[in-house]
Amino acid sequence: MELISILNLAYLIASILFIVGIKQLAHPKTATRGNFLGALGMLIAVVATLFDREILSYEWIAVGVLIGSVIGIVLAIKIQMTAMPQLVAVLNGFGGIASVFVAGAALQLSIPKYQYAVNYQEIVSIVFSAIVGGITFSGSFIAFGKLQGFITEKAVRYPGDQLVKILVGLTAVGLGVYGCLEPTDESIYWILSGVSLFLGIFLVIPIGGADMPVVISLLNSYSGIAASATGFVLNNNVLIIAGSLVGASGIILTQIMCKAMNRSLTNVLFGGFGAVATEMKDDGDFYSGKVKSTSAEEVAMLLDVARSVVIVPGYGMAVAQAQHTVRDLYQLLTARGIDVTFAIHPVAGRMPGHMNVLLAEADIPYDRLKEMDEINSTFENVDVVIVNGANDVTNPLAKTDPKSPIAGMPILDVGNAKTVVVIKRSLSPGFAGVPNPLFIADNCLMLFGDGKKATQEMIAALKES
């Protein structure tokens, strides 16, 4: 069998593993196996590529693999689960800049051939890789900065910001067209890449922290699209397929996130959404004299007579790293014969599936995690709902105030339960910057404090009861 046939067979096997792996990632019970299959597919693809006759230096490849492996191992060991959204953003960015450099190297090698005949499939793919890869790199690192706190989480707006984005976008398109017409001018490619980097910054900087889940899934899609374009540059089938899978799945996930936040895909593409409204102080008139504060001991008494409990995790739980303490509470309540489930909002946290990842790390059984659509109709039969660090995803204003920044966003209907206990540090607003009427509802009690410490106090009170 010829080498090219063996390579294509290996690429076909890798592609099948990618497809099956993504399919299994759709469910928590099979996600670990799906991740393994995807990694195995990538290993096969990499090894097959190393046998390609166009490889020029195995020494530099070995150095790159060694450095990348060390970095990957350190990240896997050191990264906190609460920082996983930041890591995803960084990895998206690295995927984008890799596409830029690979396409640039391919252009440099092809310039002599373009003196005689231009391969327009190749040159268009090179230009596309520069634009999408550049946007992905800079946009992802802006997202990382917002998530990590290096850059303000608020939407950065300025007069004429939309016009600036349009002008920079048109400049990138114009340079791209010129690059296709004059492919032998290598400098145009790098100028285009630089303009695309600025475009990524201008697209993501106006987006507020509340909308980071949408942004991350969209940038993930961009990184796949850039990789697929690079696959056309290199005429590499497995890269085309893998990039297309990532791009398509990212777009689908983005649409799911948009629906969950009542956003349109146009809002995401052009930015400027997620702006934080005027913040309300903790002692604002909205809550004045209406909040019913509680203690861990009083919550323990409620739980002592409850038959069903729903726990709603939010970003506050993630910040407090309270997932293991929440698991301890779950186990204690379950041991007492109480039915305990977890209500998961699609955009709770900082990235799609953030809460699922944290609870899986704490070994919460998968069948105890209920998605919003599944659990919303059951809240009226629940004795106690414990909201741990979630705010906007439980805010009734989404349904009652058409002028609210979160108007129309599907929420968890926790207010329908018999009793709601909200664990929160203060009455400060969530990412949307609006008050939450749930906090002053007749059936709501506020347990002020850190998500982890408050849960520990509840556990201690339950054990003494």
Number of alpha carbons in the 13 Å side-chain half-sphere of residue 306: 27
Catalytic residue of the set 392, 401, 413, 442: 392
Buried b (16+ CB within 10 A) or exposed e, 328-355: ebbebbeeeebebbbbbbbbbbbbbbbb
Alpha-carbon distance of 261 to 254, in angstroms, equals 10
Strand order from edge to edge, sheet including 384-388 = 369-371, 339-344, 308-313, 384-388, 419-424, 444-448
Number of alpha carbons in the 13 Å side-chain half-sphere of residue 220: 23
Residue with tokens 């909308």: 211
Is residue 161 part of the annotated active site? The answer reads: no
Q: Which amino acid is at 443?
A: N
Spell out the residues 6+ positions from residue 189 whose beta carbon is closer than 8 angstroms to its own. Answer: 103, 104, 107, 126, 127, 130, 179
Number of alpha carbons in the 13 Å side-chain half-sphere of residue 78: 7
Residue with tokens 């604002």: 284
Active site residues: 392
